[in-house]
Amino acid sequence: MIDISKLPMRIAIGQVNELSDEFLTFAKQLGLQDVQMNLYHLPPDMKDTGRLEFHDLLRLASRASERDLRLITIENVPIRFYDKIMLGQEGRERQLENMQETIRNLGRVGIPIFGYHFISTGVWRTGWDTPIRGGAISNSFKLELAKHAPLSYDRVYDEDEMWANYDWYMQRILPVAEEYNVRMALHPDDPPVPILGGVPRLFRNFASFKRAMERHPSRMHGLDFCHGCWSEMRGGAGVLEAAEYFGTQGRIFYVHMRDVKGGCDDFTECYINEGNSNIYKVMKKLREVGFNGFIIDDHVPKMVNDSAYGHRGRAHATGYLSAMLDAVNMLTPAQTRDYTAIPSESLVEVHALKSALPPPKKTRGRKPKDNTPKFKIDRKAMQALPTEPMIKGGGRLRFGGEIEL
């Protein structure tokens, strides 16, 4: 398996579910070495057995290797592979067996990272043809339009039971990840609001990620740090602090680099250099804390005469990120840490500098304050609303289009 602890911070290419000749050539022309695949939708030539099979993964890794590229990460499986796990439904034990075997197969093939999420209702947007700079097409989300959507599943779920389902899964999947040396990287909920379609969205703020990492402190457990989602959470505030806190612990395994304008209740995805955050400062912070993973572009705008994959948008974003990385490498000294030598029990004891995060207030046992927008669930209204113009599929309800995590 690739010893990723020895690699530098670098730019990679991803968000594709087929390693075509055209895609691999594009990666080489961009000067990249690492490939991330997103299997939220399986390609036609992969077996749909409820898990990722060894021979399918071996074929993909070999195809990348033949072009002198590394298949560094598989991100996601179809939601139907583990929806019963997320919802605590009958049949989750069988799904757990399949997910454990998926992790084993990744380790057997030598793919070192598995990106995962815990979003049974998928990514939501309320606008898929939102014009941005120069008439490029992007997407947007307005909570007011989505908060009374019909139930995605059979009922309204409770946040405590969702946490119990998550803990049940982590307690059983992480020992397998440790045995096969596969890092599991947790993606935030997108959008990071309290609930959509009757299902709570757990990973919507700093406190929830801190809780997940502290409850499950395996050295194989960390973050897919989706900058766009962290930017959505508080309108750009707190991104650097989160990067420092989790990066100092060696918990950030890789990064999705995109940005938005606005906050979680009303935002539009935009070009990488015009959102809430200063991307140079974000990359500088990552280097300062010793992050040595890869960074990919994500959710790029569709530019004039662009392809379905968004080659023009991705070339723009990748070029921009490559230039930012060159500048950061020239101007910012990197911290060097051997995270493999840190016992898993001590990871949760590492804290950010006092200047980065204010000391916690005494709450006398109360839950941390959640500043994300709140709204009441009108169950009758949610059940009565028609499903159009939404698309229902795969056991979840999503607004009007397809998007990868």
Q: Are the C-beta atoms of 51 and 81 separated by less than 8 Å?
A: yes
pLDDT digits (tens, 9 = 90+) for 76-107: 999 999 999 999 999 999 999 999 999 999 99
d(CA 104, CA 180): 6
Q: Are the C-beta atoms of 259 and 227 separated by less than 8 Å?
A: yes
Q: Three-class SS of residue 295? A: strand
pLDDT of residue 351: 35
79 contact partners, CB below 8 Å, separation of at least 6: 40, 120, 122, 394, 395, 396
Window from 13-17, 116-120, 400-404 with minimum mean pLDDT: 400-404
pLDDT of residue 332: 79
pLDDT digits (tens, 9 = 90+) for 5-50: 999 999 999 999 999 999 999 999 999 999 999 999 999 889 899 9
Q: Are the C-beta atoms of 103 and 176 separated by less than 8 Å?
A: yes
pLDDT of residue 371: 53
d(CA 351, CA 38): 32
Q: Three-class SS of residue 243? A: helix
Query: Residues 304, 307, 311, 317: is their CA dihedral positive or negative?
Result: positive
Phi then psi for residue 16, to 5 deg, are -135, 150
Average pLDDT for 287-308: 96
pLDDT of residue 356: 41
Alpha helices in 15-131 (DSSP H): 21-29, 54-66, 83-87, 92-109
d(CA 297, CA 256): 6
Q: Please give the mean pLDDT across all residues of the chain.
A: 87
- 390, pLDDT greater than 70: no
- 341, pLDDT greater than 80: no
pLDDT digits (tens, 9 = 90+) for 298-316: 999 999 999 999 999 999 9
Q: For residue 289, what is the DSSP state?
A: T
Average pLDDT for 375-399: 41
Q: Are the C-beta atoms of 177 and 184 separated by less than 8 Å?
A: yes
Task: Dig out the tokens for 303 from the structure.
Answer: 């530019």
d(CA 218, CA 161): 22
User: Which domains, ranges and CATH numbers included, belong to the chain?
Assistant: 4-355+370-398 (3.20.20.150)
Could you write out the DSSP letters of every residue in 102-148?
A: HHHHHHHHT--EEEE---TT----SEEEEE-GGG-EEEEEEHHHHTT
d(CA 377, CA 198): 8
CA dihedral 382, 383, 385, 391 (to 10 degrees): 90
